[in-house]
A and B are shown apart, each in its own frame.
Chain A
């Protein structure tokens, strides 16, 4: 130890400092309080042995000053006191001094005391080092969290969550959330909502859910189905996360055009489907293992399908919400949630739940991340129209004045031929959409092209090759039967082929997109069903809607020959 010895008597000063040195410490000497303070500032000794009565500045005064300047660093100050100095000494100890030793100095006692202080100083230093390490660690962790939070915000992209068709609540238990909500629309304007809950909470939970966002957004934008997206997400989670880590997921698709909801739930609490009066219509419980546990091909990725005619709500939430406990350990529960929703107007549901939950928790904290999604379905015709933006794509050119024979100069052409083997496995439309996205004149009308291509392709496969009868769809449960038959026939499809051509035709100063789809099927008597150019004659029932949609979007729809070939002309809106 470096010890500062302070005494105005030269002999005592010499005696004590020599003794201290003899014990293996180094000694600094000062002859009064003033000198002691100055020397302390300059040399920062570990311990001070100080006389009480001294000229210029007394020991206690110096002690107070040193203690004040030392702040958080502990500098033990031991007084060496003569007889009759008890009052000053008591006062000094009260004001921060640590111990005293009587004059004449008993060196045996002094040695023992120095040893004791040495031990305490060591301990003190260790504690300080540890708390410093802890503080460093804490700061580093905070910095890491800041970065991850930023990353999450970027990847989750809260702007995209601003969609008039749903509202959400996301309240992390810590500064980072292991719950994730993401939403995006397919080119066909179906709304995909992802609600995920990573294991645990905080940083590692947040990291768990990150691998989901990229496949979710990119595949939704290309128009992949939720089955394909789930396959990819599961593969991604398995690839990235260690064993023992998994993500519970609900993936919801709302397709207002066809009036279909698809829900796939793995490990999340049951999703509630409510009718317009907010009464529970149906419950979609978890029927799958969370993502990341088993390989994608051993998961059953077929979603639950619901066809609706009336409007209603989809309520999805994480267990953190219903399991939130108030100070008396009561759980919030599903009944409370449904109760609040039933009493609240559609626009303020989220806010109402938030307030109700806060009241319930009575100032307490929820122990797990809380998330809630309230999505609407069954929008009225006007809302749907606005959503599909059909008004905006009404051709500015009068189709009857266009001479399509003039539009022959081909700027580019993209052709695709698929036979039975590919048709069973290739997701043709999303695949073609990645091409469409790259064509400058088309990139802003992807949604229209997706709809047209999907309709034409589905018609060619379903009716051309698989010879399915649309009338099946009108029966009760018809849609399920139809899809089951479709899957069955497609799996056994042995022959047949489909040709798809996309062409950019120059017409005056505009580029017109020509889409040709031909299948190897028998065709149909289109002349009897469709009067050319008479779009109004097409029924807008459960089937035949596809063709009328295509007609509404394009300049001209023309069936050719046997009816197994169709040409569609489409004029992209000017940007």
Chain B
């Protein structure tokens, strides 16, 4: 999986695709770091439109991202979740700590 980044004004969108699991660890971290380091970006959206599966290590990566984003005083939302992704997020009750749209 290679995440891509779209920047629209103050919104940075990280578009993921395929399987989001531990194998995406490095690419995901690099992309996120570049977005966090960008002072113009105020809101980060993680776009799951093309993700068909995510596992528990992906949830761990999202938690890490949330922590870093909060430290950089930006906001974070998870968007365009398909049913399979939504299901995993629901079982983990991530709706309680993430904005999911």
Contact = CB atoms under 8 A, between A and B. Distances in A.
Interface of A: 197, 199-200, 243-246, 248, 266-269, 285-290, 293-294, 319, 368
Most buried by B among A266, A288, A290: A290
B64 interface: yes
Interface stretch (B30-38, B41-49, B72-80, B89-97): B89-97
Nearest to A367: B55
A199 B97 CA distance: 18
Contacts of A269: 91
A288 B59 contact: no
B60 A199 contact: yes
Nearest to B67: A243
B60 A246 contact: yes
A368 B57 CA distance: 12
Nearest to A368: B55
B74 to A, nearest CB: 17
A243 B71 CA distance: 13
A243 B64 contact: yes
Secondary structure call for the A interface: loop
B61 A289 contact: no
B93 A267 contact: yes
Contact of A243 (B63, B96, B97): B63
Contacts of B92: 248, 267, 286, 289-290
B70 to A, nearest CB: 11
A246 B93 contact: no
A269 B57 CA distance: 17
Contacts of B96: 289, 294
Chain B: interface residue count, which band?
A: 10 to 19
B2 interface: no
B56 interface: yes
Contacts of A293: 63, 97
B93 A199 contact: no
B56 A200 contact: yes
A246 B55 CA distance: 13
A197 B60 CA distance: 13
Interface of B: 22, 55-57, 59-61, 63-64, 67, 90-94, 96-97
A266 B63 contact: no
Contacts of B67: 243-244
B91 A267 contact: yes
A451 B38 CA distance: 62
Contacts of B60: 199-200, 244-246
Contacts of A246: 59-60, 63
A285 B92 CA distance: 10
Given A200-B22, A200-B57, A248-B56, A286 B63 contact: no
A244 B22 contact: no
24 contacts: A197-B56, A200-B57, A243-B63, A243-B64, A243-B67, A244-B60, A244-B61, A245-B60, A246-B60, A266-B93, A267-B91, A267-B92, A268-B91, A269-B91, A286-B92, A286-B93, A289-B92, A289-B93, A289-B96, A290-B93, A293-B97, A294-B97, A319-B91, A368-B55
A206 to B, nearest CB: 14
A248 B92 CA distance: 8
Given A199-B59, A200-B57, A244-B67, 20 more contacts: A197-B56, A200-B56, A200-B60, A243-B67, A246-B59, A246-B60, A246-B63, A267-B92, A267-B93, A269-B91, A285-B91, A286-B90, A286-B91, A286-B92, A289-B93, A289-B94, A289-B97, A290-B93, A293-B63, A293-B97
A197 B91 CA distance: 13
A290 B63 CA distance: 12
Q: Which 8 A-B pairs have the closest CB atoms?
A: A244-B64, A244-B60, A199-B56, A267-B92, A289-B93, A244-B63, A286-B91, A200-B57
Most buried by B among A197, A289, A293, A319: A293
A289 B93 CA distance: 5
B46 to A, nearest CB: 15
Contacts of A267: 91-93
A294 B56 CA distance: 17
A244 B57 CA distance: 8
A516 B67 CA distance: 53
A243 to B, nearest CB: 5
Contacts of A266: 93
A301 to B, nearest CB: 13
